[in-house]
Amino acid sequence: MNILLIQTKRIGDVIMTTPAVRALRETYPDAKIDFLTEFPSADVFRHNPYINELIIIKPLSSYFSVIAIGLKLRKKRYDIVIDFYCHLMTGTIALLTGAKRRISADRKGRFLSYNETLSALESKPYAANHKMQLLKNLVDIKKFEEDVALDFYISDEDRKYAENLFTELNITNNDKLITMSVVSRREYRRYPLDYFAKIADELIDKIDAKILILYGPNEDVYADKVRSLMRNKTLDDRKIFSLAKQRSVIERASLHIGNDNGIFHIAVSTKIKVIVFFAKQCSVNWVPANSAERIIVFEHEMECRNRCVYPKCEHECLTRTTPEMVVDKSIGILSKAK
């Protein structure tokens, strides 16, 4: 059996497919399972043992490229295509593969792309559970719905990178290393940069923490702004853009603090403690159930959540979480870790 899985973007959404991939492999141990995605999200599956081939494409910008990709994949003779993304372009790719079964969510205008659509998916609210529902005609969902730990396998080379970096930055096992992610693709999700600066300063002053700010390409302006607002210095900026290398660093940290973004989901895939800020989006969709001891969510139920008027507001959904609250919680976490 040949199976193609599609999730071209975003980083968090790609990571959310990993429990479904694991369930599919356990159910069909002899199947050929390929995964189609874009860079940089491809890092998530580069060393994943549950897939046979990682197919990396450039961002889909025209239907000429879509047709070319679809016809190329047609030669692989897939029996099943599961499109987790359910986009018009990825739907066209699914159709062009010629697969007998083409599965995705029931969306308007997709009736030609898929011949098995699942509507009103009933699952736990966590996005990983939601994506796994697309497998309900292929696997025993009940058997796997509690096993939604996120996978992000990295190489020995990636871990060696972190080891060398720690040596260069003079980070020891006794240090309280805190990684921070101060950016988000959507502006309304960004915790205030001056609040991040205050948190970093206080943690350096009070517990001699070492702060490493992580970000992606073209996002250095946000990290630079935080540094400019601080009294203390963070660790030297190393522009760690590889997702695998980011994970290799995060897994060795004492704590991660940041917005709801791709780096947050990378942190969730490790075993470290995480503090995350949520705005209008509901954390229940993006934080695994029964993880409150490890993943600390700062979230405020606002009347405007379902009718957000940002930026015509004071951004109280985020500013109600004061730097002092975060510092106190961070120190409490790190003191228990001794």
Q: Are residues 170 and 279 in the same domain?
A: yes
Asked if residue 70 belongs to a domain, the reply is yes
Is 303 in the same domain as 174? Answer: yes
Residue 119 is predicted with a pLDDT of 73
Residues 257 and 236 in one domain: yes
User: Bridge partners of 56?
Assistant: 37
Which pLDDT tens digit goes with each residue over 313-338? Answer: 878 889 999 999 999 999 999 998 75
Residue-number span of the structural domain to which 319 is assigned: 156-336
- Among 110, 144, 178, give the residue marking a domain's end: 144
Does residue 149 sit within a domain? no
Cα–Cα distance between 269 and 289 in angstroms, integer?
14
212/52 Cα distance (integer angstroms):
35
pLDDT value of position 70: 96
Chain centre distance of CA 184: 12
Assess whether 33 and 174 both reside in one domain.
no
207 in the same domain as 127: no
Same domain, 80 and 209: no
Give pTM, 2 decimals. Answer: 0.94
pLDDT by residue (tens digit) across 246-297?
Answer: 999 999 999 999 999 999 999 999 999 999 999 988 899 999 999 999 999 9
- Is the domain of 281 the same as that of 200? yes
Using the 3D structure, point to which of 90, 112, 144 is the last residue of a domain. Answer: 144
My answer on whether 92 and 190 are in the same domain is: no
Q: Which of 83, 114, 144 is the endpoint of a domain?
A: 144
Do residue 325 and residue 180 come from a single domain?
yes
- 23 and 57 in a single domain? The answer is yes
The domain tally of the chain equals 2
Whether 129 is covered by a domain: the verdict is: yes
- Rounded to whole angstroms, the Cα distance separating 329 from 338 reads 15
Q: CA 124, CA 78: separation in Å to the nearest integer? A: 30
State the Cα–Cα distance between residues 264 and 275, nearest whole angstrom. Answer: 9
Q: Which residues of the chain have pLDDT under 70?
A: 120-123, 338
Both 54 and 131 in one domain: the answer is: yes
